[in-house]
Chains A and B, each alone.
Chain A
Amino acid sequence: MKKTLSFFLAGLLLIFSITGFCLNMTGCSSKSKLDPDNPVTLTMWHVYGEQSDSPMNRLIEEFNKTVGADKGIIINVTMMSNASQIGQKLLDAQNEVPGVPSMPDLFFCHSSNAEELGVSNLLNWNDIFTEEELNNYVPDFLEDGKIGDTLAVFPVSKSTHVLYVTGTQFDCFAKDMSVSYDDLSTWDGFFAVAEKYYEWSGGKPFCALDYPIRCVELNALSKGAENFYTEEGWYDFDNPILKESWLEFAEAISKGHIVVSDLYSNTMVMTGEVIAGIGSSASILYYNDVITYPDNTTEPMNLQVVPLPKTKGSDLLVTLAGVGLCSYKTTEQKAEAAAEFARYITEEERNLEFVASTGYMPVNKGSFEKIKDYDFESKAYENLYTTLLEVNETATAVREPSFAGYYERVYALYDKLREMQPQLTERFANGEDAAKLADETWELFRSIE
C-alpha cells in the first residue's frame, strides 16, 4: 500500500512539475528561449528609407511573416531616422528624455554612438556568431564595428561617398564649356568644373557637399597628412596639410562654386539649386526622377554616379561609412531573437537584394561577388553599382572616425558653415579675397570644441 501511494504521489509531482513548467515558461524546449506560440517583440529604430520607401521595412515584414513567425520573433519598427541624428536620439532615449520613444531593442548607429551608449549595454555579436559564421563577412566591415574587443556594431550594409551628377543638365553645360566627367576624377578638376559651372549658370553653385569635412580629410591623407586627430577626438589644427586641404575646399565655398548642403544634397539637386551632389551612396534612394524648378517646370534627371574625386597624383581614397546593427542588452530571449534577425538580413541573397535597393555595399562576401550580375531596378542604380564596383577594385577605403562626441562637433561645424556661406559668397562677389575668406572658415573650424 505504502509503495503504491509513493508511486502515486511521485507521479502527481511529476505531472504538476511538467504542467507547471509548460504553463509558465515560454517554451518546453530547454535550448531555445524562443516560442512560436508566444513570440517576443523587438522594437527597432533604423535609418533605411526615412521619408521615402523603406526596403528595410519590407525586409522586416518578410522576416515577421517567415522566420519570425516560425521562431516566435516580431520586429516592430518604432522609429525611422537618419545616420546623423539617430545617435543623439538614442542617447535621449537612454536618458529617458520626455517625448522620445522608449529605447529600442535593436537599432542602427555608428560605432561612436555605440560607444557613447556604453559598450557594456550592448550585445557582443562575437558571443552570438561562430567564427565560421563571421568568416562569411567582409573582415574590414567587421573591424569597423569593433569597440575594443567587442563587436558591438554588426555590419549589415556599408556605404561610401560618391558624386551624383544630373546627367541632362551636366551634358548641356559640358557641351557648352568643353568639360567632361573625366574632369571630375580629381579635386583640381572638380574645382575647375565647379568654377566653370558657376560662370556658365550665372552664379549657381555646381555641387552640394553633405560631408565636406570627409572630403577634406581624404584629400589631406592623399597629400601625405598623417594622424591629424587629437587624443580628444578632434582635429590637430597645427597639421599644415590638413589646413591646406581645408583651404582648398573653403575657397571654393567662399567663391560660391560649391556649397555645404542644406541638409541633404539630393534635395538641392531635385530643386535645381545644384547639378551635382557629394553624398552617401545610400542617397540614391531619395533622388527623384525629375528636377523641379520654381515655375513648376520639370526636367528629367538622368542621374549619373561617379567616384569621389581623388587628389591628383594619388590613389583614390574613399570613405567607409554606414551604420551597423546594435542590440541593447535586455534578456537572453531577446538576444537570441536579435541574432536570428541579424543572420537573416545578412544572409547572402537577402543581403544582396537589400543593398541593391538601398544603394549600399553588401557585407556578406558571397553577396559582393554576385553584385556584378544583379539586375538593378533602374539605370541610376546600375550607374551607382558600376561606380561602387570600380571604387571597390581601385580605391583604398578609409574608416570614418569613431570618437565619442565627434559627430556632434562635425554637425555644429556644418551648421556654422551653412550660416556663414551666403555672406562669404556675397563678400567674394563684392571683391574680397577668397583666400582671406577661406582663412576665416579655418578660424571657424578651429573654434569648434
Chain B
Amino acid sequence: MKLLSGFTGKKQSMKRKLLAYMFILAALVLTLLFSGLLLLGQFTGAEQTTFETLDFQADVFHRQIESHFEGLAVMSIQLSVDTADAIENYLSENHIDFSDINDSEENIAAVQEATFDILRQKLLEANCSGAFIVLNATVNADADNAENSHTGLYLQRSSLDYSDTGILLYRGLTQLGKEHGVMPHRKWRLEFNTDLFPNYNELTDSAQLPLTSAYRISDIFTLTGTSERVMLMTIPITGKDKTVYGLCGFEISESYFKHTFSQPSKLDHAVFTINKGRESIINYADSFSCGITDGYYLPPDGVYIPSPFGSGLTLFRGDTSSYIGVIKQVNLCRNSDSFFLTTLIPKQDFDRWVFDDTLRILLLVLLILSATIGCSYFFTRRYLSPIKKSLEQLKQKEYDRHSGILEIDDLFAFLAEQDRINEAALDEIKREKADMLTSLEKIQNAHNETVQQVERLAYSRKNEVDPYDYEDFKNGLKFLTEREKEILNLYISGKTVKEIVDLLGLKESTVRFHNRNIYTKLGVHSLKQLLRYSAIMKQEEEKSKDIG
C-alpha cells in the first residue's frame, strides 16, 4: 500500500516515488517486450512451437521416404526387366519353356547363374539391404512342401557399413554363391518358402499390370531364422508373352531403415515411424522406426492409442510411455495401402518444454522486477541519498561540505555567498537602527522640551486671557452648527482657509461666511485668539483627564 501510494499525487518521499516510477518503467519494458515478440511471431505457446518443429521434421522425413521408395521403384522395374530378359535369353538359347526349369537342378543352376550378377549389381546400386528373385519353380518337385518352395536368389548386404561391399547369400545355391565370392548367410536355406512373403499370391496378382504400377510393398515380417524384420518392395517378373516367371524386388530391413533414415534434428529425443494402412496407431509390431543422427533411438514399445492434443498435434498414449507427434500420409505405390509417417517426441520432453517456457517467462519477469528494485536501490544510494543529505545540510546551513554533486556544491557556494551578503546587510541595518534610535531619542527630548515650553507658554498666556472672554468662548461653542464645528476643528488642526476650501469642497466665500459666524458666536476677533482659547481649553481637558 505504501508503494501504491507512490503512484498517487499525494506527497511522498523521493525514494518511494522513485520505486513507483521504476515499477512503471519495468511494466512498460515487459509490455513492450512481450508485444514486440508477439508482433514478430516469436512469442508462441509450447504447443505451437512443438507442432512447427515436428511438422518441419515430418516434412523432411516424408520427402526422404518418398524419394527413397521412388528410387527403389525405378530400380525394381529395371531389375524385373533385366531378370526377365536374362531368363528369356536362357530359355531361348536352350530352346526350352519356362516350365522346363521346374524340377531341374541343371536349369535352375543355370538360371541362377544368369541372374546372379544382375541381382548383385542392382543390390549394390539400389538403396536397400537386400535384393531377391523368386521364380515360380522348385528344384525338387517331390520334396516335402514342394508346392510352397520356390527357387531363386536372395542376396543381402553383409553390413550397414556402406564402405563394405560384402554380400551374403540368404537363399540360393551356395556353390554358385561361393563361385561369385558370396558366402552363405548364417541362416541360409536353398529355396524360398512362400510363407516368407506373407501375401505372395496377392503380390503376383498385379502381374498383368504395367510394371510402372505393378510394384508393391509388403507388410513388415520377420525373416525366417533371424530376428530381423523386413519390408519388401516386390514387382512381378513377366515374360513378353505375359508368363509370370516370379517376383523380384528389394528388401528394406529394420536395421537398414533405422540406420539410413535417422534424421538430423535439433531435438534431443525424437522417433520417426512408418506403418502401413493403419492411421494413427503406432504399433512396434507393424512399423519401422528410426531415431536421430546423433545416436538417440528408443523405439516405441507396444501399441499406442492416439488422441487429438491441439495445435495439430496428436497424443499417443501407451502402456509404458506416451508421445506427442505429427502424422503425415504418404502413398508409396499405386493401388496399394497408404503409409503413415509419424514424428514423435516423448511426452516428458514436451512437458519439460512447457515447464521450461513457463519458468523462463517467470524468470524474465523476476529478472526485470529485481533489476527494477536493484536500480531503485542503487539510485537511492548513489543519487537520492546524497540529495537528501544535502537537503539536511541546507537545513543546517552547512555549506562548507562537499556533496559530490556539482549542482548542489554550486548551490552551497551560492547560498554561502548570499549568507555573507545578508549578514553584511543586517549589520548595516542594525547600525542604521542604532542611529535612528539615537535620533529618535533626541527628537523625543526636543519634543518633550517643546511640550514643556508650550505648557509653560499656555500657562503664561492663560494668565493673559480675559476670563470673561474665555468663558464666552466656551459657552459659544455649544451654539456652533455642525459645519461650523467642522471648520473650527480644521482650523485647530492647523489647516488654512485654502486647505479647508479644498477639503470640504466649499467656496472660499462660504468658508469665510462660516468664519464670521464662528467669530461672532465665540466672541473672538481673530484666528490667533481663537486658536489660543482652543489650546487653553484642550490643555484644561487633558489636565482634567489626568486628574480623573
Contacts and interface: CB of A to CB of B under 8 A. Distances in A.
A100 B190 contact: no
A5 B373 contact: yes
Contacts of A448: none
B317 interface: no
B259 A78 contact: yes
A420 interface: no
B163 A74 contact: no
Contact of B161 (A9, A79, A298): A79
Contacts of A273: 174
B301 A296 contact: no
Given A266-B186, A295-B105, A5 B377 contact: yes
Interface in A347-380: none
A263 interface: yes
A51 B161 contact: no
A130 interface: no
Nearest to B139: A296
Contact of B191 (A12, A42, A50, A296): A296
B162 A100 contact: yes
A98 interface: yes
A230 interface: no
Interface string A1-33: 000010011001001100100010000000000
B185 interface: yes
Interface residues of B, number: 55
B515 interface: no
B161 A100 contact: yes
A19 B359 contact: yes
Contact of A41 (B162, B173, B296, B359): B296
Nearest to B262: A78
A92 B186 contact: no
B186 A100 contact: no
A92 B227 contact: no
B189 interface: yes
A101 B259 contact: yes
B105 A53 contact: no
Contacts, number: 142
B374 A9 contact: yes
B139 A267 contact: no
Given A65-B320, A271-B174, A74 B296 contact: yes
Interface in B177-213: 178, 183-191
B298 interface: yes
A294 interface: yes
Interface string A229-272: 00000000000000000000000000000000011101100110
Contacts of A296: 138-140, 143, 146, 149, 190-191
B475 interface: no
B374 A267 contact: no
A266 B183 CA distance: 12
Nearest to A8: B373
Nearest to A54: B227
A76 interface: yes
Contact of A78 (B160, B162, B227): B160
Given A41-B295, A100-B162, A262 B374 contact: no
A294 B105 contact: yes
Nearest to B156: A51
Given A19-B363, A52-B186, A65 B140 contact: no
Contacts of B295: 41-43, 76, 78, 102, 105
A39 interface: yes
A2 B140 CA distance: 100
A286 B183 CA distance: 14
B514 interface: no
A273 B143 CA distance: 20
A57 B229 CA distance: 13
A429 interface: no
Interface in B20-52: none
Nearest to B151: A296
A49 interface: yes
Contacts of B149: 296
Nearest to B320: A65
B163 A49 contact: no
A201 interface: no
Given A16-B363, A81-B159, A296-B138, A49 B370 contact: no
Contacts of B366: 12, 15-16
Contacts of A102: 295
B291 interface: yes
Most central of B168, B189, B360 by chain A CB within 10 Å: B189
A97 interface: yes
A51 B160 contact: no
Interface string A297-312: 1100000000000000
Given A23-B356, A52-B226, A9 B297 contact: no
Nearest to A76: B297
A74 B268 CA distance: 12
A100 B163 contact: yes
Interface string B356-393: 10011001001100100110010000000000000000
A12 B139 contact: no
Contacts of A53: 225-227
A400 B29 CA distance: 73
Contacts of A9: 370, 373-374, 377
Interface of B: 105, 138-140, 143-144, 146, 149, 159-164, 168, 173-175, 178, 183-191, 225-227, 255, 259, 268-269, 291, 294-298, 301, 320, 348, 352, 356, 359-360, 363, 366-367, 370, 373-374, 377
Given A9-B377, A296-B139, 5 more contacts: A12-B370, A51-B168, A99-B163, A100-B163, A296-B191
16 contacts: A23-B359, A41-B291, A42-B295, A43-B295, A51-B186, A51-B226, A85-B159, A92-B161, A99-B162, A263-B184, A264-B183, A264-B186, A267-B185, A292-B188, A295-B105, A298-B144
Q: What are the 4 closest A-B residue pairs judged by CB atoms, nearest first?
A: A99-B162, A99-B163, A286-B186, A51-B186
